[in-house]
């Protein structure tokens, strides 16, 4: 991918992950959809204070996330379509957003369909985490979990200003800042918008992702078999 494409992909995907993760945490009783391991902490907290059947949603998200990783990897083994995989994140979020809209219209905030909608969001974030690994050069780094990016940014900052005043260090610092900025903006907007409109807000990152990757791609987004083997 070209440098400008990597910049926009990094900004968009970091924004989307921050938006989605914060939205589900805000609306869905503390459910992390992108930072999946955080659900263990939330579950342990809930278990120590009170435990109902709905608390186990946080644990169900883990096998759903694993399924997304496995299926994405298997599809990548058969079909080599980077943009198609990234665009599929948006498609799953669109489905989840549409379901959320119908549920909101009928004032439904629990039940099987509601939790299915949440798991579709988790599944989408599982795809994004996997795509970051499979196509590491498509973004400046991880777009879903920022702890590593914060650490890298701090190390690059102190390296640049203390000893290594090199262009390479400055570029690396800027890359980390792109990811952190996109994620932070996503978190802020996700919290503000989802608190008003609920998880219908998933349509915002969904439409952005699908539009971007469909317009970016010169080839068809439909998966085409290749002879690629892992």
- How far apart are the C-alpha atoms of 46 and 21, rounded to whole Å? 19
Angle (CA) 80 85 88, round 5°: 145
Residue 75 lies in a domain: yes
Low-confidence ranges of the chain (pLDDT < 50): 219-230
Residue 173 lies in a domain: no
Residue 224 lies in a domain: no
User: What pLDDT does residue 218 have?
Assistant: 53
Residue 67 lies in a domain: yes
- How far apart are the C-alpha atoms of 71 and 40, rounded to whole Å? 23
User: What pLDDT does residue 221 have?
Assistant: 43
**Report field, pTM of the whole predicted structure over 0.85:** yes
Residue 111 lies in a domain: yes
User: What pLDDT does residue 229 have?
Assistant: 43
User: What pLDDT does residue 38 have?
Assistant: 86
Residue 29 lies in a domain: yes
User: What pLDDT does residue 203 have?
Assistant: 97
Estimate the share of the chain in helix, then strand, then coil, as percent rounded to the nearest 5. 80, 0, 20
> Number of structural domains, the chain?
1
Q: Phi first, then psi: what are they for 29, rounded to 5°?
A: 55, 50
Q: Indicate which CATH number applies to the domain containing 86.
A: 1.20.1250
Where in the sequence is the domain holding 24, given as residue range(s)?
3-144+184-216
Only one residue has tokens 């939330």, namely 42
- How far apart are the C-alpha atoms of 96 and 114, rounded to whole Å? 9
Per-residue pLDDT tens digits for 176-226? 999 999 999 999 999 999 999 999 999 999 999 999 998 865 544 444 444
Residue 223 lies in a domain: no
Residue 197 lies in a domain: yes
User: What pLDDT does residue 44 have?
Assistant: 82
């Amino acid at each position: 991918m070209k440098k400008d494409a990597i910049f926009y992909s990094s900004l968009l995907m970091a924004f989307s992950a921050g938006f989605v993760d914060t939205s589900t945490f805000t609306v869905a009783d503390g459910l992390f959809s992108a930072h999946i391991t955080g659900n263990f902490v939330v579950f342990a907290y809930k278990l120590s204070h009170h435990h109902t059947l709905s608390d186990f949603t946080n644990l169900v998200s883990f096998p759903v996330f694993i399924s997304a990783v496995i299926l994405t990897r298997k599809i990548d083994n058969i079909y080599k379509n980077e943009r198609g995989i990234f665009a599929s994140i948006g498609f799953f979020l669109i489905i989840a957003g549409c379901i959320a809209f119908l549920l909101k219209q009928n004032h439904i905030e629990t039940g099987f369909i509601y939790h299915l909608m949440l798991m579709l969001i988790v599944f989408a974030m599982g795809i994004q985490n996997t795509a970051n690994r499979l196509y590491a050069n498509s973004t400046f780094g991880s777009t879903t979990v920022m702890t590593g990016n914060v650490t890298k940014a701090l190390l690059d900052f102190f390296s640049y200003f203390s000893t290594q005043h090199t262009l390479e260090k400055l570029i690396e610092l800027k890359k980390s800042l792109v990811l952190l900025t996109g994620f932070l903006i996503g978190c802020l907007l996700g919290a503000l918008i989802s608190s008003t409109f609920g998880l219908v807000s998933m349509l915002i990152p969904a439409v952005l992702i699908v539009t971007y990757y469909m317009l970016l791609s010169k080839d068809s987004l439909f998966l085409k078999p290749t002879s690629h083997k892992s």
